[in-house]
Amino acid sequence: MATIASLNPRERLLMGPGPSTVPQRILQAIGAPTLGHLDPQYIEYLDETCQMLREVYQTENLLTFPVSGTGMAGMEAVVVNLVEPGDEVIVCINGVFGGRMKDNMERAGATVHALEVPWGETFSQEEIAAAVQKHPRAKLLGIVHAETSTGAHQDLTGLAEILHDAKMLLAVDAVTSLGGHELKVDAWGIDAVYSGTQKCLACPPGLSPVSFSPRAIEKMDARKSKVQSWYLDVSLLKNYYMGGAGRAYHHTAPINMVYALREALTIVLEEGLENRVARHREMHLLLRGGLERLGLEYIPQKSLYTLNCVSVPNGIDEAAIRRQLLTDYDIEIGGGLGIFAGKAWRIGLMGHSATRRNINTLLSAIERCLEIK
Amino acid sequence: MATIASLNPRERLLMGPGPSTVPQRILQAIGAPTLGHLDPQYIEYLDETCQMLREVYQTENLLTFPVSGTGMAGMEAVVVNLVEPGDEVIVCINGVFGGRMKDNMERAGATVHALEVPWGETFSQEEIAAAVQKHPRAKLLGIVHAETSTGAHQDLTGLAEILHDAKMLLAVDAVTSLGGHELKVDAWGIDAVYSGTQKCLACPPGLSPVSFSPRAIEKMDARKSKVQSWYLDVSLLKNYYMGGAGRAYHHTAPINMVYALREALTIVLEEGLENRVARHREMHLLLRGGLERLGLEYIPQKSLYTLNCVSVPNGIDEAAIRRQLLTDYDIEIGGGLGIFAGKAWRIGLMGHSATRRNINTLLSAIERCLEIK
């Protein structure tokens, strides 16, 4: 065996599309002694974590828990549990993640009606109402709250009324909004939602918090076929996550990741949800002012606070700038994804990364890099 | 929000079916600063991790990497990539995990021929050859190397010859053997294998190391249908894990879990595979002697070193003893699973837990508990 050097990762400032910078408190929590997954002390930590997730999702949904995988596992959990082969669904596509939702739905056997607008734009209530009317057999609509590939911020209010009137469910991708944007699962009538830990919760990646409404549970309980994924089958998982005193073993949960998520949620609730959203908004406006002063233009019509997607000026090698930010300044930002590859930068302002100091540090580094080029 | 107490997990001695006790070195590694999943430094750590996984699996398989989920996600990854709807397969069932493999295969659309022996027993080459002859259209045989529910140790030598002659693939569950038992993926002709981090690698749970042979890749490349899981689709994953310089983003890998696995594999290779297996064997014999002196009988014909499954003596409330071990002695052992529930104890000797000191500590605690009852 060749000698392996000691682990010594650089302390990067993570201002890309995620992961975001993880605060020391959470890095300490993740390194706490591992308990067994059926240990009463661990079950208590898990229950506290699920309860805090409900608070952060602003929901009373009993079925709220962290899926043992990253955000994309959460997307798949929502899809495979709510979709049966032959179901018709509507998926709203305005970037990479809407496209992935469609792919996931098709793999689960759904007939997908794609509702598309150009990347960077969002969907109006009228467009969604028209699609619902056009596809009367559709059972579910999937939409991305925070499109990480474009930085577009989708307004979700009013959608549930349209969908529930048509006996449809509302499934939402909140990977880049949970903990950074207003997200009211119950008030907005969301039936299924998934997120990631490594964005605005400022936790390492590895878990995907999900929540299902009673309406969603009704659809799952009425399934005629088994969920195609054993690992993500909520009818089995709920015996562990909602099992009360007698927890049924399903799989060995990622104990230390749950420690980290519990600490992350504690920090979110200490700050307060409203304060936290206000901070993300304020930092976004500060960053936006700075980027626009440097001549950089935002791509989406309605930008997220948490993910700022700007056009790369003509003649600039965007990858070279990112490389320079990383090597000379230890700052990570993201490049464009999909059709924006080579044309956009994606700057995250999530959780612990969203501070005045970090924004100044980043802006001055970008300014230096752009001058030199 | 109700006040949440600081995270302060007890330092349990984990001698159940997993997780096993995690050494301080690994707990420190998991708490190192989070890097981005496309950061060149992280990619280097990931490549080193995959290379060490190859050494520990004793394979040259290029397609060797940690799936971003726990052991059961690894099982599902192997199944959904290698099985297409309508495929016939043979699954060997002698405990819970063979049964789960069958369930996974069926969810992937396979027609499963179950080859069963009583729990605690294992399969002979003759039995497997007969099953292969009986099912000439079968394309794959799944078998559990280390049946965590019974402690049975399956001999895998000679199976590949039988299967490959019949143009079949050999898929192996090595969750409780990797890093504790001899496991020679290439020499034994294994085509697909999965494991967990929280057993003999002494790492927290959260990743599932998998490896696929060139023969398995050929089968995957010839698929007519998309893999039903997007998250576990190896045709997409390999662009990230085997992508060379230009890594394609698939999902955000669990960075800090990979730090932990890298440290765990470093420790395994520092000890040396042969030494490590010899230690597990020696500790098993020591424990076995002690348990038998206490009048406890092993259930399986051929016991694993790493998981020791013994019958609970008549008249003993097994759960009460486990509770007492946990509360009075901070020692975790496991109860029986499936048909062994209430009838067996499962004592893990895995990784960092498999030491002389721990065995003495456990034996004397069990002795005290049995005297008092």
Per-residue CA distances from B221 to B63, B82, B214 (Å): 13, 10, 10
Per-residue confidence of chain B (373 residues) as pLDDT tens digits?
Answer: 567 899 999 999 999 999 999 999 999 999 999 999 999 999 999 999 999 999 999 999 999 999 999 999 999 999 999 999 999 999 999 999 999 999 999 999 999 999 999 999 999 999 999 999 999 999 999 999 999 999 999 999 999 999 999 999 999 999 999 999 999 999 999 999 999 999 999 999 999 999 999 999 999 999 999 999 999 999 999 988 887 666 778 899 999 999 999 999 999 999 999 999 999 999 999 999 999 999 999 999 999 999 999 999 999 999 999 999 999 999 999 999 999 999 999 999 999 999 999 999 999 999 999 986 5
Which residues of B, range 295-334, sit inside 8 Å of A by Cβ?
326, 332
The helix or strand, by DSSP H or E, that contains position A220, with its residue range, turns out to be helix A214-221
- Which 246-265 residues of chain A touch chain B by CB within 8 A? 249-257, 259-260, 262-263
- Report yes or no: B33 and B215 within 8 Å, Cβ to Cβ: no
pLDDT digits 0-9 by tens, A130-144: 999 999 999 999 999
Answer whether A13-18+273-372 and A24-269 agree in fold.
no
DSSP assignment, residue A353? G
Residue whose pair of structure tokens reads 């895998």 in the numeric block: B156
**Domain residue spans in chain A?**
13-18+273-372, 24-269
Task: Compute the half-sphere exposure of residue B245: CA atoms within 13 Å on the CB side of its CA.
Answer: 0
Looking up tokens 């659809």, which residue turns up? A219
| Cα B177 from Cα B305, distance rounded (Å) | 9
Neighbours of B335 (CB within 10 A): 20
* Cα–Cα distance for residue pair A208/A195, rounded to 1 Å: 5
The residues with which B345 forms a beta bridge, in sequence order, are: B310, B335
Q: Which of residues 61-90 of B touch A (CB under 8 A)?
A: 68-73, 75-76
Q: Of the candidates A39, A41, A229, which has its C-beta nearest B229's C-beta?
A: A229
Q: What is the pLDDT along chain A (373 residues), one digit of tens a residue?
A: 567 899 999 999 999 999 999 999 999 999 999 999 999 999 999 999 999 999 999 999 999 999 999 999 999 999 999 999 999 999 999 999 999 999 999 999 999 999 999 999 999 999 999 999 999 999 999 999 999 999 999 999 999 999 999 999 999 999 999 999 999 999 999 999 999 999 999 999 999 999 999 999 999 999 999 999 999 999 999 988 887 666 778 899 999 999 999 999 999 999 999 999 999 999 999 999 999 999 999 999 999 999 999 999 999 999 999 999 999 999 999 999 999 999 999 999 999 999 999 999 999 999 999 986 5
Strand bridging mode B192-194 / B169-173:
parallel
Beta carbons of A232 and A76 less than 8 angstroms apart? yes
3-state secondary structure of A146: strand
Is any Cβ of chain B less than 8 angstroms from the Cβ of A58? no
| Nearest CA-CA distance, residue A207 and chain B, Å | 8
Tell me the backbone φ, ψ of residue B310, rounded to 5 degrees: -120, 150
Give tens-digit pLDDT for A302-330.
Answer: 999 999 999 999 999 999 999 999 999 99
From the candidate CATH numbers 2.40.70.10, 2.60.40.1180, 3.90.1150.10, 3.30.70.120, the one assigned to the domain spanning A13-18+273-372: 3.90.1150.10
Residue numbers in B near A251 (CB within 8 A): 70-73
CATH 3.40.50.980 fits A24-269, yes or no: no
H or E element in which residue A152 lies: strand A152-153
A256–B204: do the CB atoms touch at under 8 Å? Answer: yes
Whether residue A300 has a cis bond before it, omega within 30° of 0: no
Question: What is the rounded distance in angstroms from the CA atom of residue A36 to the CA atom of residue B237?
Answer: 30
Closest by CA position to A17, among listed A265, A344, A365: A344
- Please tell me the distance in Å from B334's CA to the nearest CA on chain A: 10
Contact B145, B174 (CB under 8 A): yes
In this complex, do B31 and A30 lie within 8 Å of one another by their Cβ atoms? yes
